[in-house]
Structure 1
Amino acid sequence: MKFGILEVKGNVDLMPSSHFPDNASLYRAIITEADEIHVQLDYHDVVVPPYSILYVSIETALALSKEHEGRFYFLYFTEVFYRRTSFDDDLLNSPETFNTPQGFNVVTIEEELREYYASQVHFLYDVFSHKNLVVFNDLIHGLIKQLLLLGSLMGKQEEKLAHHVDADHEVVRSFRGLVEENLAVEKSVAFYAERLAISPRRLSFACKTVLNTTPKQFISKCIVKEAKRRLLYTSDSVREIAWKLGYEEENNFSAFFMKETKLSPSTYRKAYHGRG
């Protein structure tokens, strides 16, 4: 589980992939106020206007342009941290937020909403900087939801911001969607390659290029991510979670979870709730 919001001032070299080794699982947003921000998305230059939110999908490489100067907030969170309900899932997968063919979306806030928008961002930053994140977990979730709703309700991809999406990113985005749809019944790389009408080798190349991981590792990460979400935010037993994720035997699921996280499912659940 991971969440954070950073205030970035001046000419700072922000490279999320270097700060966060598991960057492939992070949703990211750049939030501007009075300053215009210059960034690179998949090595293409993009300008983020004042009072805007840039939503960046998990597959897209993000960096500041060399000419960047200004102040903004950098929000990041994992799906495990945020997704609790089907409505949360809809917001993450909205084409007005993170789920665009371009791999990003820019939303500029209407003038009459800017004071409210800024207050939500500042409040979220204050909570992250000064509060117990476990105690304030629900409040943080609600504040992030407000920022996603702004994009979902107001978002419209501008033509001038669209850029060429290369074939590897298209493959990975399609692969990710298929995994989310079929995770409980299919865990074979060959199945997903066949559905994508490409070879397993082509799928492996795309995953390595875009995510720096293998298709099998990506599928495993998705299983762990969904397992963690269910352990944290549902009352399902470990046996029920195992069954819902396609494991007939609870022991097989527990062994897999232990291998990936170094904790048993029950220990992971108790450790988190014990912090509260």
Structure 2
Amino acid sequence: MIYTFNGSELNAYFGLSTDYARERDQLTKEQGLIHILWNQSNQASTVFVDNTPIVLQPNQLTTSTYLQKVAFEKGTSPIAAFSFNREFYCINTHDQEVSCNGIIFFGTQSIPIITLRDDEIDKFEMLYRIFVDEFTTRDNIQGEMLQMLLKRLIIKITRLAKTQLITKELDNNQIEIVRKFNVLVETHFKTKKQVADYADMLFKSPKTLSNLFAKFNQKSPLSIIHERIVLEAKRQLLYTDKTAKEIAHELGFDEVSSFHKLFKKITSMAPQRFKHEAKNITIGKNEQLVGKS
């Protein structure tokens, strides 16, 4: 079942699907959606994000944005999805309130998977029931109430993500630097490709950033920048008809050879070979998948 709210004045949209894998075709007409996916079943489910399989165990959540392509295995157990556009709730505008950008949305690290502990499951299920109740209550403050609930949901997930996905060795100020770095890379990776560029924007030295990320994970700031560039190149190769030369220029490379060198360094293959092999895999996989969005 799909519950929806439409704010006609600003084209605001917020939807709750109880079985997103089967109901998603009804949502694809909406553009620019951000999703929170929650496996409420008692079975593991596989979600493909940009052709990468993500296994969601029972009571695990993940997120996706309008930049990513999502597909599901046929027969996937019901996965609930909260889907909204920026006209309904802009996570950039409200970043100071929820601090989710760079952690659960638009991050440069791996796709986030958040696990609900036993003491959290009841709280999330209660919040879910309140969402359903509010979606079915039509009055002039419904949109405001749903925004408040969505904000609460995002904050709760972000808090869990900080404890589960970020090392406890980092204090809150250090976590905030990591988060802001991720957001800046997501915003500027096409034009800024050096760690010093981001260090300047964060008023830190490149060495400080490198030391901080050495504590955070095994990836250096430069590796994160490079991987974000290559991720975008992969998306373009998989989902558009653009040539490697066109993609290179779009990603800010003056020389196509520099783009080829970086792509091969990250993927161990040339762009055209990646496109050929990925599409061959996708052709076979599509027979087992529910449609992409």
Q: Give the TM-score normalised by the residue count of structure 1.
A: 0.52
Alignment partner, residue 148 of structure 1: 154
Report the count of equivalent residues. 177
The match for 1:127 is: 134
Assess, with a 3 A threshold, how the Cα gap between structure 1 residues 152 and 124 changes in structure 2: closer, same or farther.
same
1:8 aligns with 2:19: yes
- What's the counterpart of residue 221 of structure 1? none
Q: Is the contact between residue 59 and residue 210 of structure 1 (CA under 8 Å) also seen in structure 2?
A: no
Cα distance between partner residues in 2 of 1:123 and 1:66: 30
Give the CA deviation at 1:135. Answer: 2.1
Letter in 1 for 2:51: Y
Cα-to-partner distance string for 1:79-120 (whole Å, 9 max, x where unaligned): 2211353424622x041x113225631111111121111010
Corresponding residue for 1:260? none
Question: Which digits, 9 at most, give the CA deviation of each residue in 1:180-224, with x for residues without a partner?
Answer: xxxxxxxxxxxx8544589xxx9x977855887999xxxxxxxxx
Correspondence 1:74 to 2:84: no
The answer for the alignment partner of 1:87 in structure 2 is 96
Cα 1:85–1:193 change in 2 (3 A) is closer
SS of the residue 2:74 aligns to:
coil
Equivalence for 2:57: 49
Q: Deviations over 1:218-262 (max 9, x none)?
A: xxxxxxxxxxxxxxxxxxxxxxxxxxxxxxxxxxxxxxxxxxxxx
| Structure 2 equivalent of residue 106 of structure 1 | 113
* Aligned ranges 1:1-276 → 2 under 5 Å: 1-8=12-19, 12-13=21-22, 15=24, 19-21=27-29, 23=31, 25-36=32-43, 37-68=45-76, 70-83=77-90, 85-88=94-97, 90-91=99-100, 93-95=101-103, 97-102=104-109, 104-128=111-135, 130-132=136-138, 135-155=141-161, 156-157=164-165, 176-178=186-188, 193-196=190-193
Letter in 1 for 2:130: F
Give me the whole-angstrom Cα distance separating, in 1, the residues matched to 2:191 and 2:96: 30
For 2:102 and 2:191, locate their aligned partners in 1 and report how far apart those are by CA, in whole Å: 26
Shift of 1:5: 0.5
Asked if structure 2 preserves the Cα contact closer than 8 Å seen for 1:35 and 1:72, the reply is no
Partner Cα separation in structure 1 for residue 235 and residue 139 of structure 2: 33
Identity fraction in percent = 12
**Hey, what's the Cα distance between the residues in 1 that align with 2:109 and 2:23?**
21
CA distance in 1, matches of 2:121, 2:57: 13
In structure 2, list runs of 5 or more residues that go unmatched.
1-11, 167-182, 195-225, 248-293
CA drift of 1:148 comes to 1.2
Provide the C-alpha distance between the structure 2 equivalents of 1:38 and 1:27, rounded to a whole number of angstroms: 19
Cα separation, partners in 2 of 1:105 and 1:152, compared to 1, 3 Å: same
